[in-house]
Amino acid sequence: MDNLKHKQPQDVNMVDSEQEQPFVDEIIDLEEFAKAGKVPPVRCRGYRIRIGKQTYTVTRSIMTGRELLKLADKTPPERFRIDQKFRGGKTKHIGLDEEINLALSGVECFLTLPLDQTEGYSSRQQFRLPEADEEYLNVRGLPWETVAEGGCQRVILYSLPLPSGYNCNSVDMNLRIQPGYPDTQLDMVYFYSGRQDL
């Protein structure tokens, strides 16, 4: 009877892909890389990230929403929402214990908002604004939406703080977007919340 030779399965070398990446001895500014369309290195001295208006330097590529909120001094984290903003204006909500990879292509910055401003609120995005306008609105940290009704386009900014001298602390602002914007000027704005001069 012929001897049966059993072939042993070949060993598979598991190579850590991160170890194959060259180490970049510098701090990588994620916003600059995203706007330039470049992919951040996996291995580097650190990442410079923007949360709201402030920038921070971290040394890990994997972080949770909770860690990002604590880094930005948004405590307790359970009372805040954090979103990841990508090149082109797309945003993605990050759960408190959800891990995100800073080395992904297109990560521009992070936006935070107190939950008492977003609970029960569903943003309408019925048309797009220029990227610079959307970034400005997001950085302000106030809920906003774009609405198209009856042939009229409006941007609604909620809970806009007012200076002293009025009978309320904030208003909702409706800004009419004229055809041809941004080449045409904006000249019509409406306020709601019973604003009166004192």
The domain segmentation of the chain, as residue ranges, is 21-115, 121-198
- How big is the CA angle at 77 (ends 76 and 81), to the nearest 5 degrees? 135
**CA distance linking residue 17 with residue 191, whole number of Å:** 55
Closest CA to 108 of 27, 52, 158: 52
Q: State the pLDDT at residue 140.
A: 77
End-to-end CA distance of the chain: 107
* CA 191 to each of CA 69, 128, 170, 194: distance values in angstroms, whole numbers, following the listed order: 32, 22, 10, 8
Instruction: Please state, in angstroms and rounded to a whole number, the distance separating the CA atoms of residues 172 and 162.
Output: 10
Q: Does domain 21-115 have CATH number 3.30.300?
A: no
Backbone angles phi, psi at 46, to 5 degrees: 170, 175
What's the pLDDT score for residue 11? 38
**Angle of CA points 41, 46, 51, to nearest 5°:** 100
CB 91 within 8 A of CB 84: yes
CA distance 88 to 142: 20
Question: What pLDDT sits at residue 122?
Answer: 54
At residue 116, the pLDDT reads 59
For each of the chain's 198 residues, which pLDDT tens digit applies? 444 444 444 433 433 444 567 888 999 999 999 999 999 998 999 999 999 889 999 999 999 999 999 999 988 888 888 989 888 888 888 999 999 999 988 989 998 877 754 454 456 788 888 878 888 888 777 788 898 888 899 998 888 888 888 887 888 889 999 888 888 888 888 887 654 444
